[in-house]
Structure 1
Amino acid sequence: MSMKLLFSATPAFGHILPLVPLMRAAAGAGHSVGLLSSAGFRAAVGEELPPEVEFLAAGVMPEVFSADAGRRTGADVFHPTPSTIGEIFGGSRVDLAVEESIEQATAWAPDLVVAEPFDAVGPLVAARLGVGWHKAGIGPALPAVITDEIERVASARYDRLGLRPVAASSYLDPCPPQLQDPDWSPVTPVRAVRPQAHRRPEDAALDLPGFGEPGKPTALVTLGTIFSDPDTLSAVVAAVTEAGVNVIATLGSSLRHPTASTTAPTDSAHVRYVPFVPLDQLLGKADLVVGAGGVGTVVATLAHGLPMVLWPQGADQPINAARAAASGASITVDSAAGITPAVAELLGHDAYRDRAQDIAADIAKLPPAAKVIAEITNPQS
């Protein structure tokens, strides 16, 4: 039976792109699919979504709700504690999105809601409409100290609306076991789901000019869409090329649309710069990845069986880097100076690649998104 599935997510690539395989699977199974997020992110994320997905615009962008949380609490939102994270996602984001979200969702009338872990809007909408919901992970499960704070702060918003929080029916977990926190104790049933590197509905082949020395190994340098400031990117690329490899480097948000003060770097014999390109197109051209530790990059890299060097820049990246290093497939560094010897270490010892390929084989055995969608839309089957 066809259903209407409403996905609800923070307006940011790292929160929405991990949900895309589930959206694609739901649409492929004949269900109607909607995405509830900020209108300010519609244009940026639109071409990354399956064409069947209907965008329901509600709420404001992260810089707005984060600033609101800072004003309300006096906290430093750029170096947040768990309580500050709770105020940002369980407080300000909800306050500035809840009316529009309920209005949009009521008109769309979903049968089921799927929300990512930082999203407190979707569960509230589900409670208001009296429908079930599932939590969809975007990487390693958030520590309880963070999820508890988001839920605690959000509970006051439920009280104002005369609602009671409803527990998620299940947790859809795309995190390979090797990256998951061994101390994680889930409070809801867990459904493993196979993660995928991001791809667009119809990707054209990526045609890159050849390198001056094509026989060298190739490193993919990607700092994600948020932390890829020009100086950091330049330092990382210089450190990687010093290790004697060719480089494909992605440009982050600040360099996708260069201005007079932010000029896109130029290619050289050993470096090729690319704009925002789905990772699935890039990972097949690389022998290793050097990144900041964004969860999408880490999981996608392991799904392709590649080793990594990670230099965390902020947010959850230190946690992801630590878990990747513990898996045996990655090296963590704390400065650009550590990147050159770390790349040499990866290239000089097969153990890192072997471990990454073992993890990739385990990921390939996880249930595909289509199976998980079938389970949550027909739980009696």
Structure 2
Amino acid sequence: MKLLFSATPAFGHILPLVPLMQAAVSAGHTVGLLSSAEFRAAVGEELPPEVEFLAAGVMPDVFSAEAGRRTGADVFRPTPSTIGEIFGGARLDLAAEDSITQATQWAPDLILAEPFDAVGPLVAAHLGTPWHQAGIGPSLPAVITDEIERAASARYEPLHLHPVTASSYIDPSPRQLQDPHWSPLTPVRTVRPQAHRRPKDITLDLPDFDERDKPTALVTLGTIFSDPDTLSAAVAAVADTGANVIATLGSSLRHPTANQTAPTDSTNVRYVPFIPLDQLLEKADLVVGAGGIGTITGSLTRGLPMVLWPQGADQPINAARAAASGASITVDSPPEISPAVTAVLTHHTYRHHAQHIAADIAELPPAATVIAEITNP
């Protein structure tokens, strides 16, 4: 069977889908990914080598800028209606034609699209192909999904298409992170999430800390909000507690052509480039992050407590759910980070909650089970 994944061209939208892609490849299916051509090089080594890349559409900076031009809104602090225009309006307008062409030629038997992706459902409607929505974290608030669907539905009529409901929702979120008021409109299949890992791990050459008996904090702001000044403030606040720090530079410093200069290590701080989260979590006692769902879920698979400083997008929602689970503290500024880190290291209740969630995650069905279910209905 041919399974086509459709996703926004960003690490946080594609990496959570990789376990499903790998499971599909391992089961002998042909797998494709429909996303922007400009993201192919960046994400290529994160995917199973068997995955075929179908290039269509533009990058987030382009379709977000177009949405901002249309609405006059700040796309970095968007309202639900702005989010709807970004993903259900501008992105769809700039990707629909190429996506339909690519998908028609590839001829999938089944389509899987992440919740922010309005391209996959439109392609499914055009081809008459069944599709499933594959979650990348806790369910989005209805006020956001409604706006994305409202904007996208306006693009169906000119194409003489009608929106088609997903056959199921594949939920990778542990119950402790899920909105207790969520009322899904389609059948739900739970799946075990995992921290980002590559088909082939890279060698992590990390010098030992001078005081190896101290706790180690992983500081990561993800791949979008990895502003150098913000990262420096977070690292300094954590280092002030006396903990050892491993800090990720995000994707902005990943390539040799990047303009920024990487910060240098110090006695208790080690900076690392873009490395699979799973490898870094092996060395951490707690995680300090911005609230990206990949970081939160990955940390919880390892039973690690967190301190979260949201920067934008869906991070405040994710951080609120993590705090409600008892495994995390949310802060609003760098001065709040140091006492929060101390509290997490001192009061073991946060680690206890994180470990309890990790045990629940381990009981969820693996990706292979879900792929078997949707390909053999």
Specify the TM-score bucket, using the shorter chain as the normaliser: over 0.9
In structure 1, the residue matched to 2:60 is 62
Q: Secondary structure at the match of 1:256?
A: coil
Residue aligning to 2:349: 351
- Which residue of 227, 239, 243 maps to 1:241? 239
Aligned to 2:306: 308
Structure 2 segments unaligned to the other structure (5+ residues): none
Query: Structure 1: 5+ residue runs without aligned partners?
Result: none
Output the CA distance in 1 between the equivalents of 2:248 and 2:363. 30
Matched, 1:48 2:56: no
Count matched residues. 377
Match in the other structure for 1:319: 317
Counterpart CA distance in 1 for 2:10 and 2:153 is 24
2:297 to 292, 299, 315: 299
Q: Distance in 1 between matches of 2:162 and 2:259?
A: 50
Listed one character per residue, the Cα deviations across residues 18-43 of structure 1 (whole Å, up to 9, x for unaligned) are 00000000000000000000001000
CA offsets per residue over residues 152-179 of structure 1, 9 Å max, x none?
1111111010000000000000001000
Alignment of 1:101-116 (within 5 A): 101-116=99-114
The one-character-per-residue Cα deviations of 1:161-200 (angstroms, maximum 9, x if unpaired) are: 0000000000000001000011111000000000000100
Which residue number in structure 1 is paired with residue 126 of structure 2? 128
Alpha-carbon displacement from aligned partner over 1:203-228 (angstroms, at most 9, x marks no partner): 13423111111111100000001111
Matches within 5 A, 1:194-213: 194-213=192-211
Q: Secondary structure at the match of 1:47?
A: helix
Matched to 1:361, the amino acid is A
* 1:101 positional shift: 0.3
Aligned residue identity for 1:201: P
State the 1:70 CA deviation: 1.6
Instruction: Give the counterpart letter for 1:34 in structure 2.
Output: G
Quote how far apart the aligned CAs of 1:314 are.
0.5
Confirm or deny that 1:340 pairs with 2:345: no
- Counterpart in 1 of 2:276? 278
- Residues 86 and 234 (structure 1), Cα distance of their counterparts in 2 relative to 1, 3 Å cut: same
Tell me the TM-score normalised to structure 1 length. 0.97
- One-letter amino acid of the structure 2 residue matched with residue 324 of structure 1: A
In structure 2, the CA distance between the partners of 1:246 and 1:165, relative to structure 1 (3 Å rule), is same
Q: How far apart in 2 are the matches of 1:337 and 1:257?
A: 31
Shift of 1:80: 1.1
8 Å CA contact 1:258–1:264 kept in 2: the answer is no
Give distance in 1, aligned partners of 2:222 and 2:329: 18
Partner SS, residue 75 of structure 2: coil
How far 1:76 moved relative to its partner? 2.3
Structure 1 window deviating more from structure 2 (204-213 vs 219-228): it is 204-213
CA distance in 1, matches of 2:117, 2:64: 14
Task: Tell me the secondary structure at the aligned position of residue 10 of structure 1.
Answer: coil
Rounded Cα–Cα distance in structure 2 between residues aligned with 1:230 and 1:248: 15
2:287 counterpart residue number: 289
Counterpart CA distance in 1 for 2:198 and 2:16 is 12
CA distance in 2, matches of 1:71, 1:293: 28
Bigger Cα displacement from structure 2, 76-85 vs 166-175: 76-85
Name the residue aligned to 1:174. 172
Alpha-carbon distance in structure 2 between the residues aligned to 1:12 and 1:240: 28
Distance 1:209 1:101, change over 3 A: same
**Cα RMSD (Å):** 1.1
Q: Secondary structure at the match of 2:189?
A: strand
Listed one character per residue, the Cα deviations across residues 321-363 of structure 1 (whole Å, up to 9, x for unaligned) are 1111110110111100011111110111111111100000000
Matching residue of 1:26:
24
Q: In 2, are the aligned partners of 1:230 and 1:255 still within 8 Å (CA)?
A: no
Q: State the SS of the aligned residue for 1:91.
A: helix
Shift, 1:65, TM fit: 0.7
Q: Which amino acid aligns with 2:52?
A: E
* CA drift at 1:260: 8.7
SS at match of 1:254: coil
Identify if the C-alpha distance between structure 1 residues 69 and 31 changes in structure 2 by more than 3 Å, giving closer, same or farther.
same
Q: How far off its partner does 1:79 sit? A: 1.7
Query: Could you say which residue in structure 1 is the equivalent of 2:327?
Result: 329
Letter in 1 for 2:343: E
Partner Cα distance (1:339, 1:160) in 2: 51
What percent identity do the matched residue pairs reach? 81
